[in-house]
């Protein structure tokens, strides 16, 4: 009987997002050729958990509470020691880390334990718009050292690959493999009409109202203030009735509510007030397929991104997109066909693109219909699994 190849997969935390889906699909569907042990940190209080996804797939991860986003000498050292102990006991052929903290602790531990193959996936990066200049330089230097420990670096888009080797000089070009994310997108095509009716009934959206949603953590890097200011301008320039939805939660919530009050834009927190308003803050909603079905337009206003999952899911739901031109966005949408792509922080360009879609229902339908055909081919989880399988076997054969 052929021996299974053992993989230890390490992820920052199990929050709702692309990295968690990526880790879950690879853990589940690389069987039986690969045996995978999944470990990770805990999610933050303001984030929605992805543990229900893991449970549904029958994946049981090991949780390391000390592995958290914030750098702490005591916590990080404890997490490192636990990871090292797991490696010594499990004896993996491959250690594959996902995102920054897991990548640092996991790669150092794997190198210390002489693991043959060490791989790291960048799901995004913090090399601009997150920290000041000196902090950003610290992270770049750290990642360059970590890249030297790695057998291979995985980027999730061609644009990200170019950023890593060319712009930020993290490693040599030939050390970076591109493996786009993959997802189970079929649910976004199921029962769309029923889901749309249900969502719009729940949030009292009338048939003649255009619903625009932005989905994600309410944190500075997502730049929700640009979205709110754009909605404010849009309402002044169209006779159409507009409903805007912020789906998510996070540390910026209070500041965003202050902004809404300052510009006198009618708003509600749905958990507190059962009435319609121009802007609704819903907090987290697990069933994004239900949300997308109820929307007419999906927006993204981030300052930095890796591969924004919400835009893949929007296209899988036949929804047109207005997005800032950041990170790997251009690799996951068809410019001017499934999405209008505007420059970051450009309020006027964002407003203009929103208005094109708001004023033209046929354009919304035309752009939305192209989305599904595009993403079902490029971003299905079985393509992700097969690409990763080939990478693993290639690296092992070279060893």
Q: Place 233 in a pLDDT band, splitting at 50, 70 and 90.
A: very high
Q: Tell me which residue of 279, 319, 280 sits closest to 299, measured CA to CA.
A: 319
The answer to whether residue 251 scores a pLDDT higher than 70 is: yes
Q: What is the pLDDT of residue 12?
A: 87
DSSP string of 113-164, one letter each residue:
TT-SEEEEEESS--SSSSS-HHHHHHHHHHHHHHHHH-SEEEESSHHHHHII
Rounded to whole angstroms, how far apart are CA atoms 295 and 53?
24
| CATH of segment(s) 186-378 | 3.40.50.2000
Q: Which two tokens stand for residue 270?
A: 């749905």
Q: Would you say residue 238 has pLDDT above 70? A: yes
Rounded percentage of the chain residues whose pLDDT exceeds 90: 71
pLDDT digits (tens, 9 = 90+) for 155-203: 988 888 998 988 889 999 999 999 998 888 999 999 999 999 999 999 9
Domain 5-184+380-398 has CATH 3.30.230.10: no
Q: Do 5-184+380-398 and 186-378 agree at the fold level?
A: yes
Between the alpha carbon of residue 163 and those of residues 92, 127, 140, 330, 383, the distances in Å are: 30, 9, 12, 13, 24
**Mean of all residue pLDDT scores within the chain:** 91
CB distance 300 to 310 below 8 Å: yes
**Max CA pair span of the chain:** 70
The secondary structure of 302-336 as a DSSP string is -SS-SS-HHHHHHHHTT--EEEE--TTHHHHS-BT
Contact 161, 174 (CB under 8 A): no
Q: How far apart are alpha carbons 125 and 359 in whole angstroms? A: 36
Every domain of the chain and the residues it spans: 5-184+380-398, 186-378
Q: Predicted confidence band at 328 (pLDDT cuts at 50, 70, 90)?
A: confident
Cis peptide before 10 (omega within 30 of 0): no
DSSP 169: -
What lies within 8 Å, CB to CB, of 383 at 6+ separation is 180, 182
pLDDT of residue 247: 97
Among candidates 290, 308, 312, 334, which has minimal Cα distance to 197? 290
């Amino acid at each position: 009987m052929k021996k299974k190849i053992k993989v230890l997969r390490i992820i920052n935390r199990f929050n709702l997002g692309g990295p968690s889906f990526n880790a879950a699909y690879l853990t589940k569907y690389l069987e039986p050729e690969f045996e995978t042990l999944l470990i990770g940190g805990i999610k933050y209080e303001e984030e929605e958990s992805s543990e229900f996804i893991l449970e549904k797939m029958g994946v049981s991860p090991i949780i390391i509470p000390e592995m958290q986003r914030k750098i702490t000498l005591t916590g990080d050292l404890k997490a490192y020691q636990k990871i090292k102990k797991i490696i010594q006991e499990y004896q993996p052929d491959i250690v594959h880390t996902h995102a920054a903290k897991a990548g640092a602790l996991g790669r150092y531990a794997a190198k210390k334990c002489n693991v043959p193959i060490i791989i790291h996936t960048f799901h995004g990066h913090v090399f601009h718009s997150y920290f000041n200049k000196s902090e950003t330089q610290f992270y770049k230097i750290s990642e360059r050292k970590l890249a030297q420990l790695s057998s291979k670096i995985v980027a999730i888009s061609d644009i990200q690959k170019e950023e890593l080797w060319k712009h930020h000089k993290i490693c040599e070009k030939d050390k970076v493999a591109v493996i786009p994310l993959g997802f189970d997108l079929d649910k976004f095509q199921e029962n769309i009409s029923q889901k749309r009716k249900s969502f719009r009934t729940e949030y009292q959206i009338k048939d003649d109202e255009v619903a625009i949603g932005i989905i994600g953590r309410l944190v500075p890097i997502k730049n929700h203030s640009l979205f709110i200011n754009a909605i404010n301008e849009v309402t002044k320039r169209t006779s159409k009735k507009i409903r805007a939805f912020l789906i998510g939660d996070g540390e910026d919530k209070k500041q965003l509510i202050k902004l809404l009050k300052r510009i006198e834009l009618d708003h509600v927190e749905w958990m507190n007030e059962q009435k319609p308003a121009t802007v609704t803050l819903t907090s987290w909603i697990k069933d994004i397929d239900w949300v997308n079905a109820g929307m007419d337009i999906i927006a993204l206003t981030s300052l930095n991104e890796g591969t924004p999952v919400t835009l893949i899911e929007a296209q899988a739901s036949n929804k047109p997109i207005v997005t800032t031109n950041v990170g790997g966005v251009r690799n996951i949408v068809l410019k001017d066909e499934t999405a209008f792509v505007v420059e970051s922080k450009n309020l006027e360009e964002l407003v203009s693109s929103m208005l094109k879609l708001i004023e033209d229902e046929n354009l919304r339908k035309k752009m939305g219909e192209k989305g599904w055909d595009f993403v079902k081919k490029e971003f299905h989880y079985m393509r992700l699994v097969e690409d990763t399988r080939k990478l693993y076997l290639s690296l092992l054969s070279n060893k």
